[in-house]
Structure formats: structure tokens, C-alpha cells
């Protein structure tokens, strides 16, 4: 096999036609692992990525440059009503280029739930374990040692310790990490074992051809097959169509665009799976509390996410569980995410090095009858997706409880004050004031809700009347179309998703290869 | 925007408009011309670099909102020093055109004296109001019972704050030291394969070594 290559949009002349065994659409956690497995089997693979090819040469650690280059919609992707802000990667490497490195295996109770409720067969811990082990070895995934924990994570660690809440160290995919704290804007030393730094170049060495700035617009269907993938080549600077196109004619197509873009590509191609494509979208919706300390916390520095608490992950049959972690705090994203405005807001921001934030990620999709959000298309010419995510009574109960528990943790760790991200913010000066949260306005666009984890939209399962892809991730009604990314998850996970996506993609490669 | 002096649609019609889009419906519903809607903005001096998406009135609204969101002083540079309006224009250049158009409409609506009159009986455009009243307008949008206004507030706030705090000029005020020096390598090789040898680095797997 001759070595492959990474092409960017300006290198592509118009009207080019490509043939290959497998066309992988998307270069994130799913697409990269899949492509690597396929080229390792000697198959000819073309990978398409709508984002740019940005590498450590450009990673100057500035938010104002990173967000336009590395995030969907410059970091401004949201639900239609702006009630949930969606952080999602968009460049070669996808979300793995900008995530905070947290790496967890899929929890057993989630795999059991999928088997029992969603008729997912053949996806057990035993089946996935060898894939997780191989990935963990390649990506140097290991628990971050307690002695290297930064002070922002230390707040969560200490607070949980004082309250007797369960806590754990997060496994991270890093090699020679320098503790910079800038994982979210692209690692400047490739210490982060992102797909950009690891599996994609590994696969290129084995023959993978990558096209960056190449947006798959439509799958052309003929009979029971995808005949071609129609691609718009984007102008790297404006991100708009250059007018040049590319056509890939694969034996098999694998859609790996993530839980928002994969359903959108299927919908643009007229594939709806009887209305199930773009349904059951789950987001691990996040609420945040921010604590002010006497001593510096410097949440912009050090490994950003190294402690988790899954103490509240199961809260009984009627309630949504949640898990707690911390985010890094840099000026731009921090200023936008904090609520309020004016002189008090400005004064609070001047405390930036002294603040800690905790995030609670709500586990969605597990309650009976819970349908999550939807992804749809907007009118022609509007580059955005139609993303809806109704916030329901169980969400608000979980948000309220989570904010109370996080405030308790922060006060236990020594916080002077804790604020919520209500608009305007709600200030608590002691643990006695946590009850203020009972009367706070728990309503959309009155409290900040964000997400960095997108799952579902092309659920897997045995039954074509309740799922989009089968137990081997093949689209039920076509012979040569697979979906291989977080969109196949029938629910959210209750852990950060990247390793679950790596694992399922590595496992699915055998089925994709068998279809060639 | 609607042209010609049609009457404002009745309430039921407005409600149906509200359901249709992010903000377009609301703008159509109250964007009629006439004395209030045509009241002029207090313009701000334009940046010498020129604007690519915002018009002078929209630019003035961005600057006026920014000046109330981050009033400056206490070490915070002014919105003029940071160049918030120019930065916002730069963000909108790279924004999806349909979204950028909505932001422009939203800025017009926010400024519109007729909208201000309908919402809260103010008859001057936002840029013509004294600072205390501007704060009141922002607070009304922030806490409005109309979800669409809270959506609008969120959109404008995000644009303005990204434009201010995306600038390194804001860093000293928030006591942020900036990225640690010495790690970004602007001359790092960019490997594309094609027969060229892949440079060694942290991303290359060496099975025998395990560092972390």
C-alpha cells in the first residue's frame, strides 16, 4: 500500500471523481478509528472532513483564533431557541482536537440498558473490552495522578471528600503532557492523543487519503445502495462553498459526522428511516456553578479535567442522574458563559484567577418515554441545522438539585461565595443560602445550559421500527451504508463520550470491512 | 423589514409570527415605518479599517450595548480601545450568512424606537438613551417574559462579550496572564503524508516507551 495524503480544499480542482472501497465522512472519534482499522486491513479509504486541517503550527492558545477554526459555527452553535449552547468540534480530528481528554469506557449499566430496552444485541463489555484496551494503549489513556491535579479540580476532589461523596480520578489520553490547560483550543505539543495527532497520521502512513474543507452534502442513492457521495469543496477562510465539487464513488459509505451532522447528511439525502433519523438526540445538558475563593485557583492552568464524581449518577426511577466535573476557565468562553452584565459582572470577572467552576452533566435518555431532542434541516441556503431540545420537568429538577449539590461541594472546599448562571446571577454567601435555589427561575433562557457531548439521532437496534441502524451499524434499508459515531447511541452515556465512540468504531470496522 | 406604512398587525397575528423563526417574525410584526421607527441612531465614529457586515447604525448599537455590558474603568479598557464593533464585524464575516443576517435584524430591532415603545413606552432609539435607561432596556430584555426577547438578549450578549474578551487587551483587567510562552511553535512542520517522512513527536506511537 502506498502512503496516503492529507489534502486541503485549495488543492482540489473542480469536478474530481474518486473511487475507493470505503468513504468515511467525518474525521472525529468515530471516523478516524474506523478509517485506521480499514486501511490496516488493506482497504482503500477516502476520508472527508468539512473543517480545516489545523495543526499545532497554528495552535497559538488564543481563544479568538481557536473557536472560529476548531468549533462548529465558531463556537456559537446552539439549539434554535438559543436555550442550549452547543460546543462541538469542527476540524481534522473533530471533537478530539478540542476536548478536555476525559476517557471512560462505556458503563456496563448503559450497555445493559441498551440491550434490555433498545434491543441492541452483541454489544457487551466482553465484546468491547479488547477494543478499549487497544485504544487505551495507543492513546496512552491512564488516570491522571492526584499529585498533578490542578487547583480547580482540587476543589471538586476536596469538597466531595469532606461531604463523603464518591469521587474518582479521570483517565486522560495524553503523552508527555505539560499541564498547560489549553486542551480546548488545540494542544500545541501534540501531547493530547487526539485523532489529529495519532490515528489519522497513523492511517495516512497506511494509505488513507484525507480531504479537509470537504463538506459531504448528499449521498446519491441508487436502489439499495449509496452510489456516490457528493461533496462541496469549501473555501478555507470563508468556510463557504468554493463552487468546486468532488464526487466519491465508494463500495461502502460510513457516515461519521457526529450526532448532529450525521443525521443532517442522511436527511439531506432523503434518508429518514420513517421519521427516526434526527430523533432521540441527547446532549448531557450541563449546568454550572461558579465559586470565588480567597486563594488563587487559576482554572486556566493545568490539566483541565482530572476529577469526576458519579455520586448522583443514579437517583431513582423518576429522576435524571448527573455527574460532576470541572471545566477550564479562560477569559472569552468564561466571560460569555458567566451571566449578567455591567459593573458587577465586570468586577466578578476581575476575580477570574480566584474562581472555580463545577459542571453537572445530566444523563438524558434513560427515563421511560424520554425522547430527547431533534435535528432537522433549515431552508435551502441556511447553513445551520434545526436543533431542538425541550427542557422538561425532570431536567429542571436535576438542574436544581445539581446546582445545590455543587454549591455544597464548593462551600465544603472553602468557597467564599457561589453564583449560579441565572440571568441575572444568583449569589450565595454560605451553605445556609443554598435554599435560595428553590425559588430561583428554573426556566429556559433564564439560566445558562450548555453541552459538549452530542449523542443519538441514528439509534442502533435490531428492530427497524425503532432504530435507524442495525446491530452492526448498517442503515436498515440500504446494503452499503453505515453510521459509525456517537449518533448510534440509543441514550446518553453518563460519562464523557470519546472512548465509547473509539470503542464502538473499532468494533464496527469488521462489519464495515465485510460489506466491501 | 416591511416597507410602506402598514398598521401593526393585531396581537393574534403577531403571535403566529413569533412562532415562525428566531426573530424574523417579531421584526416583521413591529418593524413598520413611521415616526418612531425612523428615528435615527446616534452614530459612533467608524473604524478606519472599514466594516464588512455591519452598517454604521448596527455598529453604533453594538458599541452602545458593549459600553453598558462592560462599562470599563477599574483597569478594564473601553470598548473603543478594544475595538469591540470591529471585532464583532470580524466574527460576523465568518458567520453563516443566514445567521449574520438575523443578527443584523436583531440589532435593528433592539435599536428601533417603535419596538422600544411597544415593549416599554420608550420613544427614543437605544443609542440615544442615557446610560441608566440603556441598562434598564438591557435588563428588560434579559428578564423579559417574552422568550424571544431573552433569546435576542443572549445572542447580542454573546456577540459583544466574545468581541471584548476575545481580545488580549482585556486580559490584564481579568488578571489573566495569557498563554504560557514557549510551547506554541509557529514554524512546526505540517505533515501531509504523500511519501514524506512523518516527523517524530508525541503523537507517534513507540510501543516500548510509556511516558504518562
| Mean pLDDT, rounded, for A59-75 | 94
Say what the pLDDT of residue A2 is: 67
How many whole angstroms separate alpha carbon A309 and alpha carbon B123? 53
Cα–Cα distance, A337 to A335 (Å, whole number)? 6
Sign of CA dihedral A326, B165, B86, B37: positive
Q: Classify strands A450-451 and A214-222 as parallel, antiparallel or unpaired.
A: unpaired
If you measure CA to CA, which chain A residue comes closest to B132? A342
Question: What pLDDT is recorded for position B209?
Answer: 62
Phi/psi for B50 (5° steps) reads 85, 165
CB-CB under 8 Å, B154 with A82: yes
A511, three cell numbers: 462489519
Question: Is residue B122 very low, low, confident or very high in pLDDT (cuts 50, 70, 90)?
Answer: confident
Question: A6–B70: do the CB atoms touch at under 8 Å?
Answer: no
What are the distances in angstroms from CA A220 to CA A273, A482, A513?
A: 16, 14, 21
What is the percentage of chain A residues whose pLDDT exceeds 70?
100
Task: Flag if A5 and B75 touch (Cβ within 8 Å).
Answer: no
Q: Which residue in the set A2, A80, A142 is minimally distant from B212, CB to CB? A: A142
**Does the pLDDT at position B11 exceed 50?**
no
Contact (CB<8Å) A342/B135: yes
- CB contact at 8 A, A268 and A39: no
- Which pLDDT does position B7 carry in this prediction? 42
Q: Nearest Cβ partner of A198 from B173, B183, B203?
A: B203
Using the Cβ of B167 and the Cβ atoms of chain A, whether some distance falls under 8 Å is answered with yes
**Cell 466571560 belongs to which residue?**
A335
Q: Which pLDDT score is estimated for A84?
A: 96
Taking CB atoms and an 8 Å cutoff, what residues of chain B touch A444? 147
Render pLDDT for A432-451 as a digit per residue (tens, 0 to 9): 999 999 999 999 999 999 99
At B35 the pLDDT is 57
A-B contacts (CB, under 8 Å): 201
Burial of A396 (0-12, 13-18, 19+ CB in 10 A): middle
User: Measured between CB atoms, does B184 come within 8 Å of chain A?
Assistant: yes
**Which residues are bridge partners to A460 per DSSP?**
A469
Contacts of B212 (CB under 8 A, 6+ apart): A140, A142, A172, A174, A175, A176, A177
Residues of A within 8 A of B106 (CB-CB) are none
Please report the residues numbered 164 through 203 in chain A whose beta carbons come closer than 8 angstroms to any beta carbon of chain B. 172, 174-178, 180, 182, 188-191, 193-194, 196-198, 201-202
C-alpha cell at A340: 449578567
pLDDT at residue B8 in the model: 43
A 63-102 near B (Cβ less than 8 A): 63-64, 67-68, 73-76, 80-83
> Rounded mean pLDDT of A479-508?
98
Of A63, A193, A205, the CB nearest to B198: A205
By three-state DSSP, how is residue B55 classified? coil
Which chain A residue shows the shortest CA-CA distance from B138?
A341
pLDDT of residue B112: 84
pLDDT of the residue at B40: 82
Given a contact cutoff of 8 angstroms between Cβ atoms, the answer to whether A479 and A251 are in contact is no
- Res B173 pLDDT > 60: yes
Query: Which residues on A lie below 8 Å from B135 (Cβ)?
Result: 342
Helix (H, G, I), strand (E, B) or coil at A25: strand
pLDDT in tens, B127-142: 999 999 999 999 999 9
Chain A contact set for B145 (CB, 8 A): none
Packing angle between helix A393-412 and helix A151-163, nearest 10 degrees?
100
The string of DSSP codes covering A314-363 is: ---TTS--EEEE-----HHHHHHHS---SHHHHHHHTTGGGEEEEEEEE-
With beta carbons less than 8 A apart as the criterion, state whether A214 and A12 touch.
Answer: yes
C-alpha cell at A96: 478530539
Map A173-196 to HEC letters.
EECCCCCCCCHHHCCCCCCECCCC
Predicted confidence band of residue A361 (pLDDT cuts 50, 70, 90): very high
Q: Which residues contact A19 (CB under 8 A, 6 or more apart)?
A: A248, A249, A250
B106, three cell numbers:
436583531
**Average pLDDT of every residue of chain A:** 97
Contacts of B208 (CB under 8 A, 6+ apart): none
Condensed to tens digits (0 to 9), the pLDDT of residues A399-429 reads: 999 999 999 999 999 999 999 999 989 999 9
Residue A428 falls in which region: left (phi positive, over 0), alpha (psi -120 to 50) or beta: beta
> What pLDDT sits at residue A382?
78
Span B29-47, pLDDT tens digits: 454 445 555 678 888 889 9
Q: Tell whether A148 is within 8 A of chain B (Cβ).
A: no
Whole-number Å distance between alpha carbons of A265 and A283 = 19
Above 80 in pLDDT, residue B117? no
**pLDDT bracket for residue A257 (50, 70, 90):** very high
CB B39 within 8 A of CB B65: no
pLDDT at B10 over 60: no
Amino acid at each position: 500500500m502506498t502512503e496516503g495524503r492529507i489534502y486541503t480544499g485549495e488543492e482540489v480542482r473542480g469536478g474530481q471523481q474518486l473511487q475507493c472501497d470505503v468513504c468515511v465522512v467525518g474525521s472525529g472519534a468515530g471516523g478516524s478509528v474506523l478509517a485506521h482499522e480499514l486501511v490496516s486491513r488493506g482497504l482503500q479509504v477516502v476520508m472527508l472532513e468539512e473543517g480545516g486541517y489545523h495543526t499545532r503550527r497554528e495552535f497559538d492558545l488564543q481563544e479568538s483564533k481557536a473557536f472560529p477554526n476548531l468549533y462548529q459555527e465558531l463556537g456559537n452553535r446552539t439549539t434554535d431557541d438559543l436555550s442550549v449552547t452547543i460546543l462541538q468540534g469542527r476540524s481534522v480530528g473533530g471533537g478530539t482536537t478540542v476536548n478536555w481528554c476525559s476517557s471512560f469506557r462505556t458503563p456496563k449499566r448503559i450497555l445493559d440498558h441498551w440491550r434490555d430496552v433498545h434491543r441492541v444485541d452483541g454489544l457487551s463489555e466482553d465484546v468491547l473490552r479488547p477494543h478499549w484496551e487497544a485504544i487505551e494503549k495507543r492513546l496512552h489513556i491512564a488516570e491522571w495522578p492526584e499529585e498533578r491535579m490542578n487547583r480547580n479540580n482540587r476543589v471538586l476532589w476536596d469538597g466531595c471528600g469532606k461531604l463523603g461523596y464518591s469521587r474518582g480520578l479521570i483517565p486522560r489520553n495524553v503523552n508527555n503532557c505539560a499541564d498547560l490547560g489549553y486542551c480546548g483550543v488545540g494542544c500545541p505539543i501534540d501531547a493530547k492523543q487526539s485523532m489529529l495527532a495519532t490515528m489519522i497520521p497513523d492511517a495516512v502512513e497506511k494509505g488513507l487519503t484525507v480531504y479537509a474543507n470537504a463538506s459531504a452534502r448528499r449521498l446519491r442513492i441508487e436502489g439499495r445502495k449509496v452510489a456516490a457521495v457528493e461533496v462541496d469543496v469549501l473555501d478555507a477562510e470563508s468556510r463557504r462553498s468554493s463552487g468546486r465539487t468532488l464526487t466519491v464513488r465508494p463500495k461502502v459509505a460510513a457516515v461519521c459526522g457526529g450526532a448532529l451532522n450525521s443525521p443532517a447528511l442522511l436527511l439531506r439525502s432523503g434518508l429518514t428511516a420513517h421519521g427516526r433519523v434526527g430523533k432521540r438526540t441527547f446532549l448531557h445538558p450541563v449546568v454550572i456553578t461558579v465559586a470565588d475563593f480567597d486563594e488563587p485557583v487559576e482554572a486556566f492552568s493545568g490539566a483541565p479535567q482530572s476529577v469526576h464524581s458519579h455520586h448522583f449518577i443514579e437517583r431513582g426511577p423518576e429522576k435524571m442522574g448527573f455527574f460532576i466535573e470541572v471545566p477550564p476557565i479562560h477569559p472569552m468562553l468564561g466571560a460569555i458563559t458567566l451571566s449578567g452584565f455591567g459593573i458587577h459582572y465586570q468586577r466578578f470577572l476581575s476575580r477570574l484567577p480566584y474562581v472555580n467552576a463545577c459542571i453537572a452533566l445530566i444523563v438524558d435518555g434513560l427515563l421511560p418515554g424520554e425522547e430527547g431532542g431533534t435535528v432537522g434541516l433549515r431552508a435551502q441556503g441556511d447553513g445551520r441545522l434545526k436543533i431542538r431540545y425541550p427542557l422538561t420537568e425532570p431536567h429542571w429538577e436535576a438542574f436544581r438539585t445539581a446546582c445545590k449539590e455543587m454549591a455544597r461541594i464548593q462551600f465544603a472546599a472553602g468557597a467564599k461565595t457561589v453564583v449560579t448562571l441565572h440571568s441575572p446571577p444568583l449569589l450565595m454567601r454560605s451553605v445556609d443560602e443554598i435554599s435560595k435555589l428553590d425559588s430561583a427561575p428554573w426556566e429556559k433562557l433564564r439560566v445558562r445550559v450548555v453541552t459538549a457531548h452530542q449523542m443519538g439521532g441514528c439509534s442502533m437496534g435490531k428492530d427497524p421500527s425503532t432504530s435507524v441502524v442495525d446491530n452492526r451499524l448498517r442503515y436498515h434499508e440500504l446494503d452499503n451504508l453505515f453510521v459509525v459515531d456517537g449518533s448510534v447511541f440509543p441514550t446518553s452515556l453518563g460519562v464523557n463520550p470519546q472512548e465509547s465512540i473509539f470503542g464502538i468504531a473499532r468494533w464496527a470496522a469488521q462489519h464495515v470491512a465485510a460489506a466491501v | 423589514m416591511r416597507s410602506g406604512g402598514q398598521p401593526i398587525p393585531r396581537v393574534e397575528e403577531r403571535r403566529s409570527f413569533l412562532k415562525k423563526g428566531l426573530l424574523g417574525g417579531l421584526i416583521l410584526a413591529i418593524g413598520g415605518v413611521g415616526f418612531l421607527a425612523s428615528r435615527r441612531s446616534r452614530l459612533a465614529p467608524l473604524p478606519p479599517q472599514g466594516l464588512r457586515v455591519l452598517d454604521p447604525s448596527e455598529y453604533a448599537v453594538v458599541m452602545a450595548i458593549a459600553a453598558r455590558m462592560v462599562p470599563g474603568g477599574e483597569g478594564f479598557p473601553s470598548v473603543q480601545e478594544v475595538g469591540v464593533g470591529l471585532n464583532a464585524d470580524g466574527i460576523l464575516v465568518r458567520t453563516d450568512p443566514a445567521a449574520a443576517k438575523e443578527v443584523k435584524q436583531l440589532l435593528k430591532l433592539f435599536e428601533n424606537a417603535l419596538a422600544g415603545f411597544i415593549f416599554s413606552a420608550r420613544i427614543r432609539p437605544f443609542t440615544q438613551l442615557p446610560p441608566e435607561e440603556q441598562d434598564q432596556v438591557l435588563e428588560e430584555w434579559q428578564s423579559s417574559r417574552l422568550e424571544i426577547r431573552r433569546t435576542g438578549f443572549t445572542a447580542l450578549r454573546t456577540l459583544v462579550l466574545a468581541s471584548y474578551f476575545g481580545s488580549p487587551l482585556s486580559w490584564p483587567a481579568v488578571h489573566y496572564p495569557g498563554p504560557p510562552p514557549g510551547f506554541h511553535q509557529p514554524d512546526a512542520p505540517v505533515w501531509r503524508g504523500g511519501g514524506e517522512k512523518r516527523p517524530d513527536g508525541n503523537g507517534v506511537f513507540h510501543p516500548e516507551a510509556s511516558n504518562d
